[in-house]
C-alpha cells in the first residue's frame, strides 16, 4: 500500500509539472524550432534534508525541499525555451556513515519551459518505497503480477564486486573519472547517482546504452543503435536538420533495434524502434502514454529514409503504441525510473521478456556500477 501510494504521488508530480508548464512535452513540426543551447554541467544547488516517517513500523526517509535556486538560461529567439541544471542536496538518514555531509543527487539537467518553481517539488512529499527484509536474490521464482511471465533469478555479486561498488560510492573527488570509453567519461559524482533512491543522470544512462550497443556487436544478439539522451531534445527543438548528421556512418535501417532514451522533465522513459517488426513502442515505468513521442520519432524516420535512402516509409506498415502498465514492470517509488529505463533496454536488446520487478532495483544499481567501471556487462 505504501509503494502504491508513493507511485501515485510521483504521477501527481508529473501532472503538476505538465499542468504548470504545458510546453514540457511538445509535439511540434520538426522544422519549426530553434536550437537549444548546449547542456551545461555546472550545478546550481538546492538544499533539502531527510526526515523520517513511519509506515506500519517501517522507517522510510522522505525528501523535503527547503530552498531552491535555479539558474535559467534563456534563448532570445525562443524566450520560452531555457536550459536548467540543478541538484538536490540532502543530509543522509540517521544510520548513514556519511551523516551530516552534503551528498549530491544529480537530476537529469535538461529542462524546457519556464523555470521549475519550488512548489512543484514540495507539493508532493515523496517517500521512497523500500523493499522488505527478504533478499531479492534469495527469492524463489514467482509469477510476474498480471502476467504469465516468470521472474528471472540473478547471481549475487561476489564479495570483491561488492567492495568495488562500496569504494565507488565512497568519499573522493566528485570530478574523479571512474570510467572512460565510447568518447564518454563517468565521474564519481555521476556514479553516485546510482546509489539507492537517486535519479540517474545523462552521463550514466549514455554510458550504459553504449555498453548495450557494444555487447550486441557479438554474434547471436540483434544489431542495436542507441541514441544519446540529448538526441530527442535536439530533434524537437531544431527538427530533422539539427540531427541529420547524428547518423553519419550509421544506417538505421540496417539495425534490428533503435533505442531512444526520453527525458520528461522529472522522469525517464524509453522508445524502442524495432526495424524488423516495423514497430515503435513507448515504455514508461509509471504507465504514461507516449503516443505523441512515437509519432515524432516516426516523422524523424520518414525524414531519415528520404534523406539517406530516397525511399518513403509506408505508414500503414508501421505500428506505433504505448505499452500498457500491465505489460511491463512498473516502478513503485519516485526515484527508479532511470534504472527501469536502462533495464527495459537491456532486456529488449537481448530479445528477452521483461520480467524484473521493483525489488530488483537495488541489485541492478550495484550491478550497473560494476559494469560501468569495468566497461562490460555481466
Decide if 60 is inside a domain. Answer: no
User: Which are the contacts of 135, defined by CB distance < 8 A and separation ≥ 6?
Assistant: none
Same domain, 238 and 300: yes
**Which of the residues 192, 225, 263, 267 is marked catalytic?**
267
**Which of the residues 284, 294, 336, 360 is marked catalytic?**
284
Decide if 142 is inside a domain. Answer: no
Decide if 260 is inside a domain. Answer: yes
Same domain, 276 and 316: yes
pLDDT higher than threshold 90 for residue 78: no
Region for residue 66 given its phi and psi (left: phi exceeds 0; alpha: psi -120 to 50; beta: otherwise)? alpha
Residue-wise pLDDT for 168-197, tens only, equals 999 999 999 999 999 999 999 999 999 999
**Which of the residues 336, 337, 346, 360 is marked catalytic?**
337
Helix, strand, or coil (residue 253): helix
138 annotated active-site: no
So what's the pLDDT on residue 150?
61
**132 against 234, higher pLDDT:** 234
Q: What angle do CA 127, 192, 88 make, to 5 degrees?
A: 50
CA-CA distance, 30 to 238, in Å (whole number)? 7
So what's the pLDDT on residue 86?
36
* CATH classification of the domain holding 305: 3.40.395.10
So what's the pLDDT on residue 20?
61
Same domain, 330 and 361: no
Residue 76: all three cell numbers together: 532570445
* Helices and strands in the chain, H and E counts: 9, 13
Decide if 309 is inside a domain. Answer: yes
Query: Would the pTM count as exceeding 0.75?
Result: no
Return the bridge partners of 257, or none.
224, 274
- Could you tell me the residue range of the domain that residue 236 belongs to? 222-334
Average pLDDT, the chain: 74
337 annotated active-site: yes
So what's the pLDDT on residue 131?
38
Asked which of 6-10, 127-131, 148-152 is least confident by mean pLDDT, the reply is 127-131
Decide if 310 is inside a domain. Answer: yes
97 annotated active-site: no
Same domain, 189 and 258: no
Amino acid at each position: 500500500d505504501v509503494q502504491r501510494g508513493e507511485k501515485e504521488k510521483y504521477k501527481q508530480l508529473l501532472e503538476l509539472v505538465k499542468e504548470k508548464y504545458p510546453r514540457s512535452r511538445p509535439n511540434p513540426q520538426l522544422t519549426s524550432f530553434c536550437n537549444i543551447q548546449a547542456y551545461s554541467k555546472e550545478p546550481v544547488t538546492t538544499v533539502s534534508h531527510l526526515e523520517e516517517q513511519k509506515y506500519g513500523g517501517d522507517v522510510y526517509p522522505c525528501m523535503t525541499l527547503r530552498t531552491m535556486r535555479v539558474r535559467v538560461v534563456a534563448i532570445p529567439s525562443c524566450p520560452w525555451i531555457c536550459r536548467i541544471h540543478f541538484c538536490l542536496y540532502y543530509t543522509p538518514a540517521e544510520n548513514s556513515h556519511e551523516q551530516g555531509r552534503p551528498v549530491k543527487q544529480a537530476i537529469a539537467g535538461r529542462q524546457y519551459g519556464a523555470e521549475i518553481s519550488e512548489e512543484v517539488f514540495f507539493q508532493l512529499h515523496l517517500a521512497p518505497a523500500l523493499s522488505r527484509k527478504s533478499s531479492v536474490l534469495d527469492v524463489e521464482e514467482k509469477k510476474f503480477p498480471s502476467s504469465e511471465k516468470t521472474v528471472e533469478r540473478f547471481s549475487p555479486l561476489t564479495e570483491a564486486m561488492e567492495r568495488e561498488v562500496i569504494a565507488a560510492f565512497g568519499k573522493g573527488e566528485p570530478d574523479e573519472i571512474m570510467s572512460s570509453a565510447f568518447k564518454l567519461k563517468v565521474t564519481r559524482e555521476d556514479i553516485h547517482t546510482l546509489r539507492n533512491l537517486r535519479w540517474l543522470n545523462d552521463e550514466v544512462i549514455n554510458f550504459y546504452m553504449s555498453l548495450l550497443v557494444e555487447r550486441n556487436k557479438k554474434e547471436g544478439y540483434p544489431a542495436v543503435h542507441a541514441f544519446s539522451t540529448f538526441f530527442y531534445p535536439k530533434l524537437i527543438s531544431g527538427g530533422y536538420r539539427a540531427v541529420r548528421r547524428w547518423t553519419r556512418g550509421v544506417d538505421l535501417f540496417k539495425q534490428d533495434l533503435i533505442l531512444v532514451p526520453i527525458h520528461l522533465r522529472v522522469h525517464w522513459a524509453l522508445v524502442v524502434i524495432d526495424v524488423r517488426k516495423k514497430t515503435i513502442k513507448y515504455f514508461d515505468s509509471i504507465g504514461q502514454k507516449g503516443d505523441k513521442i512515437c509519432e515524432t520519432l516516426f516523422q524523424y524516420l520518414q525524414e531519415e529514409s528520404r534523406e539517406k535512402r530516397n525511399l518513403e516509409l509506408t505508414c500503414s506498415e508501421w505500428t506505433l503504441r504505448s505499452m500498457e502498465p500491465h505489460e511491463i514492470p512498473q516502478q513503485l517509488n519516485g526515484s527508479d525510473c532511470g534504472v527501469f529505463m536502462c533495464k527495459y533496454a537491456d532486456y529488449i536488446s537481448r530479445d528477452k521478456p521483461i520480467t524484473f520487478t521493483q525489488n530488483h532495483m537495488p541489485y541492478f544499481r550495484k550491478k550497473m556500477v560494476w559494469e560501468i567501471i569495468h566497461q562490460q556487462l555481466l
